[in-house]
Amino acid sequence: MSQPFEWQSDYAMGDPEIDAQHRMLFDLANRILTIMDPHQGFGELKAAIQALLDYIQVHFEAEEERMREWGYPELEHHQALHAAIRRDISRLIQESKDLTSLKKDLNFLMTQWVLVHIRKEDCKIGEFCRSQSQNP
Ligand SMILES: [Fe+2]
């Protein structure tokens, strides 16, 4: 059965560790959507979102470390995007009062924010890295 968030090879930014972490984020997002599907509890969904947030924290630190190593010129802008994603997800966990609003906001956050971030912003880091290695 196909998953709602399907990893595709063109999402890869070229660093094996970062790409593995991105695939893990897709897995966690799919797990959350599976919990949302049947009539599971509010608490269980919140716990799964917290697990996603914890993993995002680890992942963002790894990605920011790579950007520093590579001398990525848009590091500060990218860090600000990461901070905004973390803020929005923790706000979602803290402020949603019922399952319906949690599902709606989470779906928006995952599709419009996290996945767009991986496909647009993180791919730019990969392009930068490749351009540097072609012109040493
Ligand atoms: Fe990123």
- 63 alpha carbon – ligand 1 mean position (Å): 6
Give the Å distances, CA to CA, from 52 to 8, 16, 57, 66, 125.
20, 20, 9, 21, 22
- 22 alpha carbon – ligand 1 mean position (Å): 9
- 124 alpha carbon – ligand 1 mean position (Å): 10
- 119 alpha carbon – ligand 1 mean position (Å): 9
- 109 alpha carbon – ligand 1 mean position (Å): 15
Residue 110: band (very low, low, confident or very high) from pLDDT cuts 50, 70, 90: confident
Question: Which of the listed CATH numbers 1.20.120.50, 3.90.180.10, 3.40.50.300, 1.25.40.10 matches domain 15-134?
Answer: 1.20.120.50
**Per residue in 11-62, pLDDT tens?**
888 889 999 999 998 888 888 877 766 566 778 888 888 888 999 999 999 9
Whether pTM exceeds 0.85? no
Residue-level pLDDT at 37: 62
- 117 alpha carbon – ligand 1 mean position (Å): 6
Residue 7: band (very low, low, confident or very high) from pLDDT cuts 50, 70, 90: confident
Residue-level pLDDT at 44: 81
- Where residue 125 falls (left for φ over 0; alpha for ψ -120 to 50; beta otherwise) is alpha
First to last CA, the chain: 44
Residue-level pLDDT at 136: 52
Residue-level pLDDT at 2: 64
- 28 alpha carbon – ligand 1 mean position (Å): 16
- 56 alpha carbon – ligand 1 mean position (Å): 10
Looking at the chain, the number of H-run helices and the number of E-run strands are 6, 0
Residue-level pLDDT at 92: 86
Those residues whose C-beta lies under 8 Å from the C-beta of residue 125, and which sit 6 or more positions away, are: 13, 63, 66, 67, 70, 72, 78
- 39 alpha carbon – ligand 1 mean position (Å): 32
- 18 alpha carbon – ligand 1 mean position (Å): 9
